[in-house]
Amino acid sequence: MSLIVNVLLGLLFGIGLVVSGMSDPDKVLNFLDLAGTWDPSLAFVMGGGVLVAFIGYRVVLRRDRPLMADGFKVPTKTAIDGRLLGGAAVFGIGWGLGGFCPGPALTALGLGQPGALVFLAAMFIGFWIARLVSAGRTDMAAKD
Amino acid sequence: MTEFTPLASLIGGALIGLSAVLLMAIEGRVAGVSGIAARLLPPFRGGLPLAPLGFVMGLVAAPFAVMAVTGVPIVQTVSSNLPLMGAAGLLVGFGTALGSGCTSGHGVCGLSRLSPRSLAAVVTFMATAFLTVFVVRHVVGA
């Protein structure tokens, strides 16, 4: 049941990415090119998404629990630290180089362009390296 | 050049927000795509990751659903510079995993929860992304 719900919600999310134009790296890179061929469209994607989620979360999180889980798992970390800012900075560089963030890159999988496939494979390797680095740091902290 | 599409972008963004709200309402989770995708990597806690697998399958199917309804082919202009795309993918994967989120998790979900942590992340990745495109297109490419 969870599988079906997630397929449908992933589909809705992905349709949003395609309809909005965010799934096209060319459009993303033009959004990021303030000094050149600037296309402000993607500000409207973020605006529409945040507006709906801002109102929707307020309604949903007033309930006691989700429909199909025991409780709401809302992120609880509050520290604005080097990991957060360093990670975000590195992500932004990759986003600016390829024009893909994770969601749009996944919508590109089935269309099979070589650049998208290489990006996706490398993205998963990147997840893996970050996990190894984090585990190594935790080990070192434990030894101290 | 790409065409300015405020209405389509606003509607698409609203659909993304709706998906995030429904995921919270049904399963109680935020719709952060980098986190969801990273859960496809082993080790798996508590059996196969069916929920993330389903969400990713939906994302992959989305362009075909849009094509089936509109009959218009999906335009994705992807660089054919494979070393560049490989480097970009590594940075995006590493950065989002280290920084616990991307455009969806910190952007749509975090900003709408008014999370200062997510706002700091969004400001940071927007700044380095703008800077990167400026350097690539106007310094190196000039």
Interfacial B residues in 64-93 facing A (CB < 8 Å): 64-66, 74-82, 84-93
Q: Which of A25, A49, A65 sits opposite B17 (nearest CB)?
A: A49
Q: Look over chain A and give the mean of its residue pLDDT values, rounded to a whole number.
A: 94
At A93 the pLDDT is 98
At B46 the pLDDT is 76
CA dist B135 and A101 (Å) reads 19
* B46-101 confidence digits (pLDDT tens): 788 999 999 999 999 999 999 999 999 998 999 999 999 999 999 999 999 999 99
ipTM: 0.96
